[in-house]
Chain A
Amino acid sequence: MRRTRARTNLSPMITDSHIGRTYPATDPYVVSAAKVAEFADALGDAANPAYAGPDAVAPPTFAVVLSSAAWGAMFDDPELELSLSRTVHTDQRFTWRRPLRVGDQVTATLTIEKFRARGSSAFITIVVGLDDADGERVCDATSTLLHTWPEEIA
């Protein structure tokens, strides 16, 4: 297979100047009992009583459902020339101030925290803050993404 490259500059379009860029918050997402149960089941943890009933909390890593919803804003930013299909998730950190609970109405705001170019690839660290309806921070989800821009294959 031959691939051609539209631009000749090998350096990524995302640069240090994009560090600190914050995108608008996502629309509010309401954490439902059904979605929490579905997520717990997908982790093989459907029997955990913490994830059922009127006081249910979400499995901690349910935060990714909300944080990844904020990724679209960055991938849609035409300046950066990023593509989700050329992205590998290399690490993930969550810090919780409190657990997500059924009924929480959450918005997610993405900020580009770090950028490190390596040839036609780059490590991009993003922080997504999850806030409840009162504007209180619930969780920070920090991800490092390895993005590779296409190179001409001769």
Chain B
Amino acid sequence: MSTVELATSQPGTVLPGITAAFTRGALVRYAGASTDFNPIHWSDRAAADLGLPGVIAHGMLTMGTALRVVTDWCGDPARVLSYYVRFTRPVVVPDDDEGATVSLGGTVTKVDDGVATVSIEALFDGVKVLGAATAEVRLD
């Protein structure tokens, strides 16, 4: 989005949503990229030991992917000033070709002094997996 369009953002502006499919392969790729090799993200046995229903996605994978809603919209990742999420529910990733599909969206909730606050929503199976997810984005 151009700077001119960004500058007209108002509370209520809805950002284009995206969907992301987390497969087991995607988790392995994120493990390597992030250096988070916790086995609950690749071993059913390790996940079961912790009482999880199966391998779960890295919370940081969900967090990082959800921010694409904001960076796609504002065009420049350098505009992102802050980002907060609570990891409220795990995203369980089956060992199949489809993986787990997460729907991501965002809405501007505040514009103040050239900074937009964006509330981000991440849904898996219709349930929120990120709580209070909020990014601050420089508009000018």
Contacts and interface: CB of A to CB of B under 8 A. Distances in A.
Interface of A: 35, 38-39, 41-45, 48, 50-51, 57, 59-61, 64-65, 68-69, 84-85, 88-96, 98-99
Contacts of B60: 61, 64, 89, 92
10 contacts: A42-B30, A48-B71, A51-B77, A61-B63, A64-B64, A65-B35, A89-B87, A92-B60, A92-B87, A94-B84
B7 interface: no
Contacts, number: 94
A57 B77 contact: yes
B34 A65 contact: yes
Interface of B: 20, 26, 29-30, 32-36, 38, 59-61, 63-65, 67-68, 71, 76-78, 80-87, 131
A89 B78 contact: no
Given A48-B71, A50-B76, A96 B34 contact: no
B61 to A, nearest CB: 7
B86 to A, nearest CB: 4
A8 to B, nearest CB: 25
